[in-house]
Amino acid sequence: MSVPAEQTPFSSDESHARVLDAADPLAGERDLFHIPSGPNGKPCVYMTGNSLGLQPKAARAALEQELDDWARLGVDAHLDGRDPWLSYHEQFREPAARLIGALPGETVMMNSLTVNVHLMMVSFYKPTPTRHKILIEGTAFPSDSYAASTQVAHHGYDPREAVIRLQSRTGETTLRTDDIIRTLNEHAGEIALVHLGAVNYLTGQWFEMEKITAAARAKGCVVGWDLAHAAGNVPLRLHDWGVDFATWCTYKYLNSGPGAVAGAFVHEKHGSDASINRFAGWWGTEPDTRFKMGPDFVARAGADGWQLSNPPIMAMAPIKASMAIFDRVGMDAIRAKSLAITGYMERLIDELCGGRVEILTPRNPDHRGAQLSLRVPGKSKDLQAELHRRGVVVDEREPDIIRAAPAPLYVSYHDVWRFVRTLAECT
């Protein structure tokens, strides 16, 4: 009988990684994914699921089914296909809701991430002469920064004044919740929208979303979250936390393919409010009136009312394969392994890298997901290339950061051991 991982004494030996894998209840999920080969022809150590997740083996069949139905039925596949195209997006409603802690009517899969950010800001960023600022991270993902800047400029405000960028304290790399709330209090009458990345792409910090949401809403701010690095990575309760809106992509931890169709959340308190301004498209109309082809837009209740066009079936098919895995395994089990395997990686780095590698991601497991951002001064580009040459795939961010993500569904403890061992040899 295997011994639970948390009950085995830590060791940096390879044999300990094997013991942890033998005790891992999610070990079998790895077989559901294609693992790329390294330069030596053997499976690589893939630590970039925070950038592009691996392909589920079932994705090909899901896509081929739609290609076959198109070939066999043509337009009739909208109604007569094995997975009818007319209602195709609706199959993701409940799995997406379970993934992010929402009600089914609060989620929709559509567009790409930044398109959804803009669509949400059209509806929920309502600037006035006195209250027109947007609060973001100083290290926000560039697309979020561009979205905020262009939205305020669209309304006639200067982004240099109207976009408040949170900065960490001198000598620190992550943001303190108290500092975020203090900024909210200082600018309470000026901030119209708070829009943060739930897990910061650069540092891997998972913000205290519930506290920040409550603090911002208490000051009259609208609150939106970018879940690009959070969906499928950390447990979320968007409905219960009172989040106004959220967006996410599905190609990172959710393994749905490069540039895959994204998701959006709109809290039910807004979903039936026909007075909310939006950029409308015909797939956001009530289905009963959609094909009457009239000029008047009647928004469908819930997040579906923000759709523009009919769903891109071929782009959405791979999502079926990935979401089926997440829905079966569940975020509780994924989070449990995430905590264990990320903690294991942290301890290995501390022991094997001898202070040559600085961990930027919070040490508190409650403030991170399955990612550690590592600072290796002056070496990130060369180090990434050398790791890749040795069969370890990570990504780097200038000037000196390596990001490594032990995605729980397909990264093994032995993968982590190989990564850190190779990192130690290269630093």
Q: Tokens 């999920």 appear where?
A: 29
Domain count, the chain: 2
Task: Assess if residue 211 is contained within a domain.
Answer: yes
AA identity, residue 67: L
Alpha helices in 112-256 (DSSP H): 113-124, 142-154, 159-162, 177-186, 209-218, 238-241
Residue 91 domain flag = yes
Closest by CA position to 357, among listed 272, 425, 285, 269 = 425
pLDDT in tens, the chain (427 residues): 344 455 678 999 999 999 999 999 999 999 999 999 999 999 999 999 999 999 999 999 999 999 999 999 999 999 999 999 999 999 999 999 999 999 999 999 999 999 999 999 999 999 999 999 999 999 999 999 999 999 999 999 999 999 999 999 999 999 999 999 999 999 989 999 999 999 999 999 999 999 999 999 999 999 999 999 999 999 999 999 999 999 999 999 999 999 999 999 999 999 999 889 999 999 999 998 899 999 999 999 999 999 999 999 999 999 999 999 999 999 999 999 999 999 999 999 999 998 899 999 999 999 999 999 999 987 778 999 999 999 999 999 988 999 999 999 999 999 999 999 999 999 9
The answer to whether 325 touches 32, Cβ cutoff 8 Å, is yes
Q: Tell whether 42 is covered by a domain.
A: no
CATH of the domain at 352: 3.90.1150.10
Out of 327, 358, 379, pick the residue that ends a domain: 327
Last residue of a domain, one of 286, 312, 327: 327
Asked if residue 17 and residue 85 are part of one domain, the reply reads: no
- Tell me whether strands 222-226 and 245-248 are parallel, antiparallel or unpaired: parallel
Give the Cα separation of 423 and 415 in Å (integer).
Answer: 12
Closest CA to 421 of 343, 351, 341: 351
CATH at residue 267: 3.40.640.10
Give the DSSP letter of residue 102: -
Tell me, yes or no, if the pTM score tops 0.75: yes
pLDDT of residue 6: 53
Owning domain of residue 263: 64-327
Res 7: pLDDT: 61
DSSP 8-state code for residue 108: E
